[in-house]
Amino acid sequence: MNSLKISNSLTKSKDLFKPINLKNITMYVCGPTVYADPHVGNGRSLIVFDLLYRVLIKLYGQKNITYVRNITDIDDKIIETSKIKGIPIDKITSDVTKNFHINVRDLNCLEPTSEPKATDYIKEMIEMINSLVEKKLAYINNGHVYFLISKFKNYGKLSNKKLDDLVAGSRVEISKLKKNPLDFILWKPALAKEPGWDSPWGRGRPGWHLECSVMSEKHLGKTFDIHGGGLDLLFPHHENEIAQSCAHNSTDTLANYWVHNGFLTMNKEKMSKSLGNIETISEALSKYNGQVIRLALLSAHYKQPLDWSDNLLEQSKATLEKWYELYDEAEIETHNSEIFLCLLDDLNTPKYFAKLHELYNAANKGDKDKRNEFNDACRFLGIFNQKKDMLIKQKKEASNVNEKYILQKIGERIKARKTHDFKLADSIRDELFKNGIIIEDKDNKTEWKYK
Ligand SMILES: [Zn+2]
């Protein structure tokens, strides 16, 4: 059972997962910077690591897992947004955090064990910087504190790059204050109107990379099992987290398994706020049920790029609607290990989907056991979490009739039939049909569905 294999960016191979402590499996995933509503590219990361969390729960039991996903609520992007929009920082971060929580709920992601906020850990951040300065691994220049890359021998190990290549090939911030262009900020001064905290180097705020180093250590310890995030975080964010944490703790390893999900693209270009080609999760949810979005985002293997398109969503919607034909409300655990094996093999969701189609076909022929297995396997994926009538919310809006109206009309029709007014009964049925609703009389009951 315990044979999860996962692609590890640190070793560049698919490794057998061996937890440090079977009674406390630890996973840290970089959460959102709350300056703008998260887009579906961020949603992919949320769902991929939610699935990994579900796999870990199945293998080790929920009580034995600590899953931390942070909130970055102090960052240049937040300050910039506040300046541009003229909205106070607190309002931006609390509104975006609220929307983020609605999004993760609608996408049916399980809640992490804890969700630390960066601004709650400023004291610990100052302590970590102090320790790096004392160890001569960081230097102070004009209110700024920088990490001294040249003193950390393993720099570039995660991103598999040499220092010279990194300088040439990446957009590093050039500053006269730095000794090396790759040295990165640990602390920076705050302007008078900007948020800031007192520190030995003056009033200022922490660097983004440092925030994750402190929050992961606080919640998971100096070395933990899994560190996750989108591929765009691998360099420099994760590389810098390793440098700070390992230098601070005098350890060789921050996390044993570094897991990165591939990009979500739109017209084959990476979806990103800076490129302007984004769709927010909220926008997507206004058009499609969260389960459709979940299926779409899991349709490709998590390491591969995935192109976000109407076609992908319509296909996912059609699949979900088909699968819902065999939806059963009763939750029966079936322990089908064969389909689960696909997920143990580096979260191979395309293979899992193929098996689900097979199960569907077998169940559709009337095999009750297969139907139970099918329902169980759908639930494991994080779908089948709502009754069928919730699923078709969009259609309801499109057809301009709501459930209350439909049930009222059905009631009127039943009454008409009881009084043998079949003309009225038929006209009610025709009216509903015109509105996209089909009704069927089965075993003295009237059922309805959308066309
Ligand atoms: Zn992070």
pLDDT digits (tens, 9 = 90+) for 236-250: 999 999 999 999 999
Q: Calculate the alpha carbon distances from 20 to 9, 66, 344 in Å.
A: 18, 12, 18
Please report the pLDDT score of residue 444 as a whole number. Answer: 77
Please report the pLDDT score of residue 273 as a whole number. Answer: 76
429, 434, 435, 437 alpha-carbon torsion, rounded to 10°: 50
In sequence order, which residues have a C-beta less than 8 Å from that of residue 397 and are 6 or more positions away? none
d(CA 426, CA 424): 5
Please report the pLDDT score of residue 139 as a whole number. Answer: 97
Please report the pLDDT score of residue 170 as a whole number. Answer: 57
Q: Give residue 133 CA to ligand 1 midpoint distance, Å.
A: 22
Top-confidence residue, 396 or 20:
20
Q: Give residue 61 CA to ligand 1 midpoint distance, Å.
A: 26
d(CA 377, CA 157): 38
Q: Residue 393 pLDDT > 70, yes or no?
A: no
Please report the pLDDT score of residue 377 as a whole number. Answer: 96
56 forms beta bridges with none
Q: Give residue 159 CA to ligand 1 midpoint distance, Å.
A: 15
Q: Residue 80 pLDDT > 60, yes or no?
A: yes
Q: Give residue 353 CA to ligand 1 midpoint distance, Å.
A: 31
Q: Calculate the alpha carbon distances from 76 to 205, 207, 280 in Å.
A: 10, 9, 21
Q: Residue 165 pLDDT > 90, yes or no?
A: no
Percentage of the chain modeled with pLDDT above 70: 94
Q: Give residue 293 CA to ligand 1 midpoint distance, Å.
A: 24
d(CA 255, CA 451): 51
The 8-class DSSP code of residue 262 comes to P
Q: Give residue 85 CA to ligand 1 midpoint distance, Å.
A: 26
Please report the pLDDT score of residue 396 as a whole number. Answer: 47
Please report the pLDDT score of residue 439 as a whole number. Answer: 85
* pTM, entire model: 0.85
Q: SS3 of 219, please?
A: helix
Q: Residue 105 pLDDT > 70, yes or no?
A: yes
d(CA 207, CA 200): 15
Q: Residue 224 pLDDT > 70, yes or no?
A: yes
**Average of per-residue pLDDT across 185-207:** 94
Confidence of residue 438 (pLDDT cuts 50, 70, 90): confident
d(CA 234, CA 229): 8
Q: Which long-range CB contacts under 8 A does 153-159 form with residues at least 24 apart?
A: 154/242, 154/243, 154/246, 154/252, 155/182, 155/239, 155/243, 156/239, 157/10, 157/239, 157/242, 158/9, 158/10, 158/234, 158/235, 158/238, 158/239, 158/242, 158/258, 159/234, 159/235, 159/236, 159/238, 159/239
Top-confidence residue, 376 or 173:
376
Q: Give residue 327 CA to ligand 1 midpoint distance, Å.
A: 38
Mean pLDDT of the chain: 91
Q: Give residue 245 CA to ligand 1 midpoint distance, Å.
A: 12
Confidence of residue 160 (pLDDT cuts 50, 70, 90): confident
In sequence order, which residues have a C-beta less than 8 Å from that of residue 90 and are 6 or more positions away? none
Q: Give residue 341 CA to ligand 1 midpoint distance, Å.
A: 30
Q: Residue 374 pLDDT > 60, yes or no?
A: yes
Please report the pLDDT score of residue 418 as a whole number. Answer: 87
Please report the pLDDT score of residue 269 as a whole number. Answer: 82
- Cβ count within 10 A of residue 450: 18
Please report the pLDDT score of residue 2 as a whole number. Answer: 59
Q: Give residue 305 CA to ligand 1 midpoint distance, Å.
A: 21
Residues 5-35 as b/e (b if ≥16 CB within 10 A, e otherwise) read: ebbbbbeeeebebebeeeebbbbbbbbbbbb
Q: Calculate the alpha carbon distances from 203 to 141, 173, 188 in Å.
A: 14, 22, 8
In sequence order, which residues have a C-beta less than 8 Å from that of residue 271 and are 6 or more positions away? 39, 40, 41, 263, 264, 265, 277, 278, 279, 308
Structure tokens at 264: 């979500």
Structure tokens at 357: 């189609």
Instruction: Please work out, in degrees rounded to the nearest 5, the angle formed at the alpha carbon of residue 204 by the alpha carbons of 201 and 207.
Output: 100
**Average of per-residue pLDDT across 34-62:** 96
**Average of per-residue pLDDT across 110-136:** 97
Please report the pLDDT score of residue 391 as a whole number. Answer: 65
Q: Residue 53 pLDDT > 80, yes or no?
A: yes
Please report the pLDDT score of residue 272 as a whole number. Answer: 79
d(CA 321, CA 384): 11
In degrees and rounded to multiples of 5, residue 380 shows phi and psi of -60, -35
Percentage of the chain modeled with pLDDT above 90: 73
CB 415 within 8 A of CB 404: no
Please report the pLDDT score of residue 144 as a whole number. Answer: 96
Q: Which of these ranges, 193-207, 306-320, 377-391, has the smallest mean pLDDT? A: 377-391
d(CA 28, CA 228): 6
CB 326 within 8 A of CB 364: yes
**Average of per-residue pLDDT across 136-145:** 96
Structure tokens at 111: 């809640």
Sign of CA pseudo-dihedral 291, 29, 112, 125: negative
Please report the pLDDT score of residue 171 as a whole number. Answer: 58
Please report the pLDDT score of residue 443 as a whole number. Answer: 75
Please report the pLDDT score of residue 352 as a whole number. Answer: 98
**Average of per-residue pLDDT across 315-325:** 95
Q: Which of 83-87, 167-171, 419-423 has the highest mean pLDDT?
A: 83-87
- Around 449, how many Cα atoms within 13 Å sit in the side-chain half-sphere? 9
Q: Residue 289 pLDDT > 50, yes or no?
A: yes
